[in-house]
Amino acid sequence: TNQIYFMSVEDQKVLELEQRKEKIYFGGGTKAIEKQKAMGKMTARERIIALLDEGSFHEYDMFVEHDGRDFGMQDKSLPGDGVIIGTGMICGQPIAIFAQDFTVAGGSLGFMHARKITKIMDYALNMRIPLIGINDSGGARIQEGVNALAGYGEIFFRNTLSSGVIPQISVILGPCAGGAVYSPALTDFVFVVDNISKMFITGPEVVKTVLGEVVTMEELGGARVHSEISGNAHFFAHSEYECFEQIKKLLTFIPWSNEAKAKPFPSKPPRPEYKIEKIIPSDPTQPYDVRDVIRAVADDSDFLEIQQEFAKNIVVGFGRIDGETIGFVANQPSVLAGVLDCDSSDKAGRFIRFCDAFNIPIVTFEDMPGYLPGVEQEYMGVIRHGAKVLYAYSEATVPKITVILRKAYGGGYIAMNSRHLKADFMFAWPTAEIAVMGPEGAANIIFKKEIMAAENPEEMRKIKVAEYREKFANPYVAASKGYIDSVIEPEETRKILKHSIEVSSNKSVLTPAKKHGIPPF
């Protein structure tokens, strides 16, 4: 007290500021922090420091307090109202960030909490920088009633306004329940961590009450559920630190806004272990990993896969060719023969639209026998879901290049960025089979009478399959009609892709004037 008495007024004010800051730095207090740590979670402030470049974080609205006046809230102090906002740097580039603080009232969202988040969202949009949101909240603050719901609505509106303008990244590092889950769903990429992330509309208690089913939080909405089954998450990590490294890597591939292109990197050749001419088996019925084809053409064979564990019959992600970011879309023959179904169509369509919004050229590797048939798929709406791929490719105005590796049958041929959907360049390997359907099925239909009338129907069937394959199941019929620009050797693929991207770098497309299209949602 005596020391304070002999301080200058200015020094006293500085001391008061430091004391106020220190109190806020401790969030909900020592016990709440210890509880957070016991759950294997970092604090909100630790997360920001771990993710951003050292010493780059600048915090705003640190001294904001809640304005709740009911249920005894007027007597409670909630430091920062349970959320930290600010700006900083990642890899030397500016970003905006918010992190909910679970140690303060369970990170619950009230009016001022929401206002802090919408403030930093407005900053991000106006400054054209990426927005990162770290979600760790028990949901709406029920003591504030409709004000909390209004806060969510304001956030959702800004998510939508920013969509396609700046990258929006959601990191789920704790519970994210009820209405809160819709903000991450409206963003571009969702990151989850095993045993930490929880996302669901209704908790286990409600499920038990309404449906009589007993489920755990992990079963209902854990990280693996959303990475493998629902498709709500795009990246899965085993720890928070691994998650932060994933975010940093993603940001090296994408631009800071739709007004720019992704930062170029020095070109590197693919690693020598990926020999493109040796990847695809000679037997057209044998599967292979299409990711090896991507790595065989990408700089340093570096490929960042998106939604790796969801809808594995299609592969999407980012790589580089000659230093420029490329969005890769590829059928995966090792899973369901690479067919398109409801989930893979959603996955591909959404990724294509992201690439188009942010000026990222799209390279498509095609090897698929068509859409997945069956009653279940029809009931799930494969027609509507499948149309999303058609819509996304048709709508995209960035450079679009397709390489047909092997099978391109029926509607699948059209959907995977065909010339008819205005692909800029169409190439095919000599192994390509382009037809209405596979040779076996086509021969059974076209030559049915001849096969049945033959002394040896099975031998006749083999002859007719070979006849159909020779006439139609090859790239040369399509090439003769101009639907394929060139039939290329596998070894030429990277060189031709590089050239195609270079010559289409200034591509400009005139589209009809309209407010917006109506995708098959």
pLDDT band at 6 (very low <50, low <70, confident <90, very high): low
Structure tokens at 345: 């169509």
Q: Where is pLDDT greater, at 366 or 441?
A: 366
Residue-wise pLDDT tens digits, 202-236: 878 877 888 888 888 888 899 999 999 999 999 99
Q: Which pairing describes strands 168-172 and 175-177: parallel, antiparallel, or unpaired?
A: unpaired
Compute the average pLDDT of residues 391-409. Answer: 96
Question: Helix, strand, coil proportions of the chain in percent (round to 5)?
Answer: 45, 20, 35
As a whole number, the mean pLDDT across the chain is 92
Comparing 22-31, 192-201, 414-423, the range with the smallest average pLDDT is 22-31
Q: What are the residues whose beta carbons fall under 8 Å from the beta carbon of 339, sequence distance 6 or more?
A: 313, 331, 368, 369, 370, 371, 372, 412
pLDDT cut 70: percent of the chain above it: 98
Residue 205 has a CB neighbour count (10 Å cut-off) of 9
Cα gap 41→447, rounded to integer Å:
65
Q: Where is pLDDT greater, at 66 or 180?
A: 180
CB 162 within 8 A of CB 181: no
pLDDT at position 117 over 90: yes
Nearest partner of 315 among 300, 293, 296, judged by Cα = 293
Rounded-to-10 torsion of CA 310, 314, 320, 322: 170
Q: Give the per-residue pLDDT at 68.
A: 66
Q: Give the per-residue pLDDT at 74.
A: 65
Comparing 188-192, 253-257, 426-430, 436-440, the range with the smallest average pLDDT is 436-440
The count of C-alpha atoms lying within 13 angstroms of the C-alpha of 121, restricted to the half-sphere facing its C-beta, is 26
pLDDT band at 441 (very low <50, low <70, confident <90, very high): confident
Structure tokens at 252: 């090296």
pLDDT at position 92 over 60: yes
Helix (H, G, I), strand (E, B) or coil at 466: helix
Residue-wise pLDDT tens digits, 168-190: 999 999 999 888 999 999 999 99
Q: What are the residues whose beta carbons fall under 8 Å from the beta carbon of 477, sequence distance 6 or more?
A: 434, 471
pLDDT at position 290 over 90: yes
Residue 47 has a CB neighbour count (10 Å cut-off) of 24
pLDDT band at 243 (very low <50, low <70, confident <90, very high): very high
Q: At what angle do helices 342-357 and 382-395 cross, to 10 degrees?
A: 20
pLDDT at position 2 over 70: no
pLDDT at position 282 over 90: no
pLDDT at position 4 over 60: no
Q: Give the per-residue pLDDT at 311.
A: 98
CB 290 within 8 A of CB 331: yes
pLDDT at position 417 over 70: yes
Q: Give the per-residue pLDDT at 384.
A: 96
Q: What is the pTM of this model?
A: 0.93
Comparing 262-266, 283-287, 400-404, the range with the smallest average pLDDT is 283-287
pLDDT at position 467 over 90: no
Q: Give the per-residue pLDDT at 154.
A: 96
Rounded-to-10 torsion of CA 173, 175, 177, 182: 0
pLDDT cut 90: percent of the chain above it: 72
pLDDT at position 378 over 80: yes
Cα gap 49→88, rounded to integer Å:
10
Compute the average pLDDT of residues 442-457. Answer: 86
